[in-house]
Amino acid sequence: MQIRNNCCHFRGDIPCRPHKEHGAHCENCEYFIPLEKRILIIKLGAAGDVIRTTPILRKLRSEFPKAEITWLTESPIFVPKKFVHNVLEWNEKNVFWLQNQKFDLLVNLDKDKHALVLAESIKAGAKKGYLPDEFGKCRPADSDAEHKWQTGLWDDLCLQNRKSYPQEIFEMFGYDFNGEKYILDLPKSDLKFDLPVGKKIIGLNTGCGTRWLTRLWGEKNWIELSDKLQEKGFIPLLLGGPTEHEMNSEIAANSKAIYLGFFELKDFLNLMNQCDLVVTSVTMAMHIAIGFEKKIVLFNNIFNKHEFELYGLGTILEPENKDCLGCYKNTCEIECISTIQPDRVLQEIENLLKL
């Protein structure tokens, strides 16, 4: 029996998809796709960064339709399986396997020391992105990564940057960014959410994680916005995880907002997909909303707004105090993000849903 292990479909340990779906065997398989290139992407996390890196897969698949693409990550649920042959979670077994493989192209997009040293240790014909220098610190692998590396070193250069994150990632691969969109799969969920029908659902993502608490808008603002949305005929739906549970319960108890609780990730994705528009700070939920092509009102204060690619889906609201922008502070007594008024947010929501 002929075995063609150079086929994109061939697995080596389990039946390939053409065999399972069509009963095909290698010697007469009409679905044979010869491997022409092996590409490894190292992009571990955070989850939002993984999601906003997915547009590069559209370009890679266009340039190399017969390539085997492997992606090493800490957030495998966000790597689209239709574009990537091997989605590998960061663990000892997968790292060991990678160190004993050879790729035509390796692109490391993480600056973490463990990602750098792994990228250095894996055999590849060409390496791009970030690699370790002689002191084990991050350096650009080539001139294509120089801009992204420099803006991460100097606050003034970061604030001057006018390139979006996807544009910078495309440049690190050596490509031009032409508005390629996120790729986000919707996982299966058995939950049925009890939500009103016939009205626009506005997702209110109240949290911001724990790293930069200056992104919190404040319970008072969420309560006021929820009531104003309900008066306008919208359905305000509170979103969040276990960290936001107490806050969301308090907001729901004092407003007209609906709060269904927090869920595991696959169910949270399906809940967000029920929304027509999402109001959020810069979080994973922001990238999920963009991936599902939802309208979005984005609160921003501590980051450079130009790094966010909204694809025409929404608007970015910032405090009027421009001295607060781009501070990257975790806590601050000014609480500048809370100065964005609920009436201003409501107006943006109405404008976006009229488009």
Q: Tell whether 17 is covered by a domain.
A: no
Mean predicted confidence (pLDDT) in 204-226:
86
Residue 171 confidence (pLDDT): 98
167 and 97 assigned to the same domain:
yes
Residue 335 confidence (pLDDT): 78
- 169-204 tens-digit pLDDT: 999 999 999 999 999 999 999 999 999 999 999 999
Mean predicted confidence (pLDDT) in 112-117:
96
Residue where a domain stops, chosen among 133, 153, 173: 173
Residue 309 confidence (pLDDT): 97
Q: Tell whether 179 is covered by a domain.
A: no
- 316-326 tens-digit pLDDT: 999 887 666 66
Q: Tell whether 19 is covered by a domain.
A: no
Q: Tell whether 10 is covered by a domain.
A: no
Residue 331 confidence (pLDDT): 67
**ω into 46 cis (within 30 of 0):** yes
Of 260, 220, 221, 222, the residue nearest 240 (C-alpha) = 260
Q: Tell whether 119 is covered by a domain.
A: yes
pTM for the whole thing?
A: 0.91
211 and 302 assigned to the same domain:
yes
List, in sequence order, every residue forming a beta bridge with 205; answer none if it has no partner: 239, 280
- Please count the structural domains in the chain: 2
39 and 157 assigned to the same domain:
yes
Mean predicted confidence (pLDDT) in 297-319:
93
229 and 327 assigned to the same domain:
yes
Alpha-carbon distance 321 to 242, whole Å? 32
Share of the chain above pLDDT 70, in %: 95
- 38-94 tens-digit pLDDT: 999 999 988 999 999 999 999 999 999 999 999 999 999 999 999 999 999 999 999
210 and 158 assigned to the same domain:
no
299 and 206 assigned to the same domain:
yes
Is pLDDT of 214 > 80? no
Share of the chain above pLDDT 90, in %: 83
Residue where a domain stops, chosen among 173, 191, 219: 173
Residue where a domain stops, chosen among 135, 157, 173: 173
321 and 281 assigned to the same domain:
yes
Range of the domain at 44: 35-173
List, in sequence order, every residue forming a beta bridge with 138; answer none if it has no partner: 132
Q: What is the CATH number of the domain that holds 292?
A: 3.40.50.2000
Residue 324 confidence (pLDDT): 65
342 and 254 assigned to the same domain:
yes
226 and 120 assigned to the same domain:
no
Q: What token pair was written down for 283?
A: 């979080």
Residue 352 confidence (pLDDT): 97
Alpha-carbon distance 324 to 4, whole Å? 60
Residue 172 confidence (pLDDT): 98
75 and 151 assigned to the same domain:
yes
Q: Tell whether 4 is covered by a domain.
A: no
Is pLDDT of 328 > 80? no
215 and 342 assigned to the same domain:
yes
Cα 219 to Cα 58, 70, 277, 344: the distances in Å are: 40, 43, 20, 16
165 and 211 assigned to the same domain:
no
Residue 327 confidence (pLDDT): 64
Is pLDDT of 142 > 60? yes
Q: Tell whether 8 is covered by a domain.
A: no
Q: Tell whether 191 is covered by a domain.
A: no
